[in-house]
Amino acid sequence: MSLLQACRAGSGSGKLQVVTSIEPLAYFVERIGGDRVSVSVMVPPGGDPHSYEPTPRQMARLGSAALFVKAGSGVEFELNWMPRFLALNRGLRVCDASEGVTLIPMTHADQHDEPAGRRGRFDPHFWLSPSNARLIAANVARSLALADPPYHREYEANLEKLEGELEALDGQIRRRLAGVKSRRFFVFHPAWGYFARDFGLAQIAAEEEGKTLTPVQMARVIGIARASGIRTVFVSPQFSSAQADAIAHDIGGSTATVDPLAKEYQENLRRAAEAFAGGMR
């Protein structure tokens, strides 16, 4: 029995077994793979990909997967389960979803008080950009075709349809944000840099990688928010909102949630654009 046959048989459904590191990547696999694939996600909804540890059941399932789709941009950088995971299945094909993407260096403001040895890192949240999403889709389609050659034409057709939708999504967001005069938004976790770049916005971030702010840092970001006339602090559901709530209280504003890891990719970016437009005015 070939590896591909084993991966299909192991599922009990005859579908190609694919694992993704985060939920947004599962969206691309399901849209391109369609009924040919069965997808599981390592980091569950609400989980923090910077620190998540998979369950033994998840690790066992990885042994029968045919394809692993990773972000490849630094999201999995500090996860110590990656070497263990890859050792479970030596024949596993790995798709780097970030291949061909130009990563954005973390700005000085995003990495304030970072140890010198860790500066110069890149923003890992590249999928929050419709232009990057087209590259992700192409990388996934190519990897599925290599892992499952008999259905490569089906994957190519699904890719073409999705690419058209992503191009339309880009235009919809541009039109929604076109009339917004203030182009700066304030986020507690700096996940939206690629989105900001695509649509001519400026992201101001309070912290990096979910770290708790010191009193000095809190005072600094409150000062920045006040000086910028900001009244909305955008938070990610993967992190505690306690400090964001405190900042919002001190500036006489409020918090709003935008999720960088929601699975329903297109609808999530539409919701985020609407939220940012409301917060920036």
**Amino acid sitting at position 139:** N
Lowest-confidence range among 12-16, 46-50, 196-200?
A: 46-50
Lowest-confidence range among 3-17, 55-69, 195-209?
A: 3-17
CA distances, 255 to each of 90, 144, 188, 248 (Å): 45, 40, 10, 6
3-99+129-170 belongs to which CATH class? alpha beta
Note the pLDDT tens digit of each residue in 55-77. Answer: 777 777 777 899 999 998 766 55
pLDDT at 114: 38
Q: State yes or no: pLDDT of 90 exceeds 80.
A: no
Band of pLDDT at residue 239, cut at 50, 70 and 90: confident
Question: Which CATH code is given to the segment(s) 180-280?
Answer: 3.40.50.1980
Asked whether the domain spanning 180-280 has the same topology as the one spanning 3-99+129-170, the reply is yes
pLDDT at 109: 46
The token duo for 156 is 């190519």
Q: Are 154 and 124 in contact (CB under 8 A)?
A: no
The helices-and-strands tally (H runs, E runs) of the chain is: 10, 8
Q: How far apart are alpha carbons 177 and 197 in whole angstroms? A: 13
pLDDT at 144: 98
Q: How far apart are alpha carbons 279 and 268 in whole angstroms? A: 16
Task: Domain ranges for the chain, please list them.
Answer: 3-99+129-170, 180-280
Lowest-confidence range among 39-53, 75-89, 129-143, 217-231?
A: 75-89
pLDDT at 115: 36
Q: How far apart are alpha carbons 45 and 231 in whole angstroms? A: 28
Helix axes 23-33, 152-177, angle to 10 degrees: 130
